[in-house]
Structure 1
Amino acid sequence: MNTYQHDWHTSEGYDGGLHHCRKCKRSHQGPRLEAHDCPVSDAEHHAVAWLGHAGLYRTRFDAVRNFEQSVTPVSVDELFELASKQILSQINEGCQRG
């Protein structure tokens, strides 16, 4: 299993603070941990869509619900590029028909 750096934010500043990871939702009381043991990558945390064998999904849960075995997180830039390619493909297909 890969491990990544937590994205901590502090909600209570006393006794070292109560820290929450924005990515994996883990909480920790005391000094902020610097360990790289977060199970969620930055790409997964910032994904706007998920790409599986059968297509694009809005959430990872949707992909799993559709029995996808492997999904890849898609960033905003990647989503824009995929959409642009799809539109160009449809335009080219329309030109070949007409």
Structure 2
Amino acid sequence: MENLVTLGGFLRASRSRLEPADVGFPTTTRRRVAGLRREELAQLAGVSVDYYTRFEQGRSKTASRAVLDALAAALHLDESNAPTCSVSPLNRSEYIAGTTRSR
């Protein structure tokens, strides 16, 4: 569970570093917090806002490699700063957030 909380914090921090103009969104509205809104990141990653919110809040324990890759691309992450993942030994079709990259 701790890894999910850590991943959620990482996603929030990464989201706050991107400005809407960095990804092609208009900056005409006032924002209460810096960075992208959850809705904007979900749209860029091609996932539902509800799914992304659950994932960021640590309420969704699994995500496919495709979803993780889409989030990394939407957040402009590369190998050096992307969250790390490892395949769960219990179910090889799901990915669990971890602390070391395994390849």
TM-score under structure 1 normalisation?
0.26
Which protein is richer in strand relative to its size? 1
Which protein is richer in helix relative to its size? 2
Decide which structure has the larger Cα Rg and report it: 1
TM-score under structure 2 normalisation?
0.25
Higher relative contact order (CA 8 A, sep 6+): 2
